[in-house]
Structure 1
C-alpha cells in the first residue's frame, strides 16, 4: 500500500506516528534552554500567559508550564493534541486550532517555534497567521517566530540521507523547488510503503519584513540562534524574530 502525498501535506504527515519517530531525537535540553533565555529576554511576567502556536505534542508548552507560565498549546494535528492532553492541568491546556485564524484570547506572548511556519500553499495564509498572532497579543505582549535561516539551509542542503530509527529506514531527499525547501520521505513499515513530503517556503528575513509591514506588525529584534546571538544571513542556523 502506498500513502501518497496530499495537497495539505502537513495535515497528513504530522498526524502520523512516523513523523514523531523520524524526529524523536530532537534536543529537549536545547529547547528548554531556549525557552529560559527567551522568556527572560522578553521579561514575560510571573505566571504570564503564553500561546504556543503549532505546538505539536507540546514539548515546549509543557516546559513553559513547568517553569511557571499559564500555557495554551494549539495545533492542527488532532493526534498530537490528543497526546498532549494527558499533560493538561489548571494552567496548561491543549486544543486543535488552525493558526491562520485568531485564537479567542490575548496573551503576554505568542510563540511559533521550530520552523512551524511557511507550510501553506497560499501566501495569504502565511500573512493571516502573522495577523492572527498580532490579534492574540495583549497591549504588552510579544510575538516570536523561530524559523530556519533559509539561506544557510539552502547553502548546506544534504541532497540525500538514509536514517534508521526504531527499525524503520527513512530515505530522505532534499531540494529547492519553486521557492520551497522540499524533503521527500519514503520508507516501509509493517509491510506497507509510505511516501510523504515536507514543503516549507524558503522565506528570508526580507520576506518576513514585507509580511510584517503588510500585517502592520513592528519587528523589534532579530537573532540567529537559540542563545540570541546576532543574526547573520550567511552563517546563522536560525532566524528568530521578535515583534509586536
Structure 2
C-alpha cells in the first residue's frame, strides 16, 4: 500500500528545510493569546495533535502545563522526545485513531494540520477522536487556513531559495483541494512532493463538527484573535466545546 502524501513529505528532512522560517515568535504569541482568552487552569492537561517537532507543545510546557504531543512523523517525534520531562510527552500516532478517552482539558490542532484525508469519513473520525479525548467540559482549538482568501489570491508558481536549494512550487485548486507541488534537486537527486489540503470553509466545518460531537464556541481570524472576515482573515480558528 502506497504512503499517503503527508506520511512521506512530513517525514522528509526537506520539509523542515522549506518551512524552517516558520515564526517561533508568532507561534508563541498565538499560544499566549489563546491562554489569555481561554484561561486554562494551572493543572490543565493538553493534547497537541499533529505536533510536528513540538514547538507549541514545548512552549505550553514551559508555561507550566501538562502536555502530550502526537504526530504521524517518526522523525519529528524522535526529535521532540529530547525535550520530554514529567509533564511533556510525545508519541507517534495517527490522529484518526483514538489514543485517550475523557482525559484532556484542551486539544489543539494548529497550523492547518487537518484537511489532509481523502474522505469525509476520515475527517469525521479524526474530529471524533479529538472530541473523545476531551473531558466533559473540554475544548478543542482548531487552527486552519482561510481557504477562501488563499483561493482568491492564489500564487500559481514561485521558487523559494532555502539553504542552497531551489524549491519550485506550483499551486492549484482541484476537486475541492488546494494542491501544492514541490519539485527540487538536492544531493544530486531529483525530488517531487505534493501537499493536498481540503479547501474547507466555515460552513464545511459546521457540518463536520456537528457530526463529531463538537459545537463551535468562538471563531477568530488571526493569531491576535481578531474576528473572522472571510475575505481578509489569514486564518480560520475555532474554539469548540465537547457536546
Same-fold status (TM-score > 0.5): yes
> In the alignment, which of 142, 146, 160 is matched to residue 145 of structure 1?
142
CA distance in structure 1 between the partners assigned to 2:54 and 2:166 by the alignment: 26
What stretches of structure 1 of length at least 5 have no aligned partner? Answer: 1-5
Q: Which residue of 2 aligns with 1:3?
A: none
Distance 2:205 2:151 in 1: 17
Q: Among 210, 216, 221, which residue is 1:213 paired with?
A: 210
Say which SS state the counterpart of residue 99 (structure 1) adopts: coil
Q: Does 1:93 align with 2:100?
A: no
Indicate if the aligned counterparts of 1:42 and 1:142 stay in contact, CA closer than 8 A. no
Partner SS state of residue 44, structure 1: coil
The structural deviation recorded for 1:141 is 1.3
Cα distance in 1, alignment partners of residues 120 and 4 from structure 2: 14
Out of 135, 151, 168, the residue aligned to residue 165 of structure 2 is 168
User: Which stretch of the first structure deviates more once superposed, 233-242 or 41-50?
Assistant: 41-50
Residue 67 of structure 2: aligned partner: 71
For residue 11 of structure 2, what is the aligned residue in structure 1?
15
Q: Which residue of 1 aligns with 2:56?
A: 60
What do residues 108-135 of structure 1 show as CA deviations (whole Å, max 9, x unaligned)? 1000000000001121111111111110
Aligned residues: 239
1:222 to 197, 219, 223: 219
Deviation at 1:104, TM superposition (A): 2.0
Query: TM-score, normalised on structure 2?
Result: 0.96
Q: Report the alpha carbon displacement of residue 102 of structure 1 after superposing the two structures with TM.
A: 1.8
Unmatched segments (≥5 aa) in structure 2: none
SS of residue in 2 equivalent to 1:218: strand
Post-superposition Cα deviations, 1:145-198, rounded to whole Å, max 9, x if no partner, equal 000000011111111110111111100001100100010000000000000000
Partner of 1:113: 110
Work out which of the residue numbers 72, 78, 81 in structure 2 matches 1:82. 78
Distance in 2, Cα, partners of 1:104 & 1:151: 34
Conserved? CA contact 2:100–2:132, under 8 Å: no
* Whole-Å separation in 2 of the counterparts to 1:213 and 1:48: 25
Cα displacement (A) at 1:7 = 5.5
Q: Return the alpha-carbon distance in structure 2 between the equivalents of residues 42 and 140 of structure 1.
A: 12
Are the structure 2 counterparts of residues 135 and 155 from structure 1 closer, same or farther at C-alpha, using a change threshold of 3 Å? Answer: same
Structure 2 counterpart of 1:181, from 174, 178, 181: 178
Which residue in 2 is equivalent to 1:33?
29
Residue pairs, 1:121-140, within 5 angstroms: 121-140=118-137
Equivalent in 38, 41, 44 of residue 45 of structure 1: 41
C-alpha distance in 2, partners of 1:34/1:134?
22
Q: Distance in 2 between matches of 1:44 and 1:98?
A: 26
